[in-house]
């Protein structure tokens, strides 16, 4: 994988893990240290990908089956990379993304049972050999996360509607991903005060990417 200049950090986790809050705080932390940061999200983060996001996160839980979701996710991901992530990295910026391909592995693979080798094939087609520099996985009990997510307002509740067993498989999937790639992934306890999680993420980024 060619060095694109910037750094790519992804935050992952189940519903209600607090990713949006922690991404904002981490971006502020890095900017205070003189780093130019782009904050983005998946699915979404570019004009085309945001259109696909609407299809994926709104409406009834049974709108799509697992393979269709995976295909839509990678279509959105390709547009996001081409139009947002890669140009920013090429300009030396750091990119922090709320979700990336590990969410597809966890949600569509472990959650819905889509064949993991198929997901990796789609990854090679859409993404190639590009990987995040660091993936921070916010972990907390499923019931706690769903309760937090249930307090949010808006139309993006499709995945929250899925049963607890699905979300437990997703959590287990993230843990297995982290165990398989410890050089890239770090699990962080998200069932803790916001400030404590923030401090832990800053510590990990300093250790892994050399930012104090």
Give 131-175 pLDDT, tens digit per residue.
999 999 999 999 999 988 877 766 668 888 889 999 999 999 999
Are the beta carbons of 45 and 10 closer than 8 angstroms? no
- What is the residue-averaged pLDDT of the chain? 94
Whole-angstrom distance, CA of residue 106 vs CA of residue 93: 28
Q: How far is CA 184 from the centre of its chain?
A: 13
Helical ranges in the chain per DSSP H: 19-31, 47-57, 66-80, 86-90, 101-103, 116-126, 142-150, 164-180, 194-209
Amino acid 1: pLDDT = 44
DSSP letter, residue 156 = -
Amino acid 150: pLDDT = 76
CA 159, 118, 106, 19 dihedral sign is negative
The string of pLDDT tens digits covering residues 27-55 is: 999 999 999 999 999 999 999 999 999 99
Structural domains in the chain? 8-209 (3.40.50.300)
The string of pLDDT tens digits covering residues 68-84 is: 999 999 999 999 999 99
Amino acid 154: pLDDT = 67
| Residue 98: closest CA among 37, 199, 10 | 10
Amino acid 2: pLDDT = 46
* Res. 120 pLDDT band, cuts 50 70 90: very high
């Amino acid at each position: 994988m060619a060095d694109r200049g910037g750094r790519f950090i992804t935050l992952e986790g189940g519903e209600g893990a607090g990713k949006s809050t922690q991404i904002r705080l981490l971006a502020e932390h890095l900017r205070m240290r003189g780093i130019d940061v782009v904050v983005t999200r998946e699915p979404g983060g570019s004009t085309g990908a945001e259109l696909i996001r609407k299809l994926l996160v709104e409406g009834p839980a049974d709108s799509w089956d697992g393979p269709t979701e995976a295909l839509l996710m990678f279509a959105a991901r390709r547009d996001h990379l081409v139009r947002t992530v890669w140009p920013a990295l090429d300009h030396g910026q750091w990119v922090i993304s709320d979700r990336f391909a590990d969410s597809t592995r966890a949600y569509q693979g472990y959650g819905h049972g889509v064949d993991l080798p198929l997901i990796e094939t789609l990854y090679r087609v859409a993404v190639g050999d590009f990987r995040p520099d660091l993936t921070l996985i916010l972990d907390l009990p499923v019931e706690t996360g769903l309760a937090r997510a249930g307090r949010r307002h808006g139309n993006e509740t499709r995945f929250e509607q899925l049963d607890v067993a699905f979300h437990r498989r997703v959590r287990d999937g993230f843990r297995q991903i982290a165990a398989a790639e410890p050089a890239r992934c770090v699990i962080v306890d998200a069932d803790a005060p916001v400030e404590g999680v923030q401090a832990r993420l800053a510590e990990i980024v300093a250790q892994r990417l050399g930012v104090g």
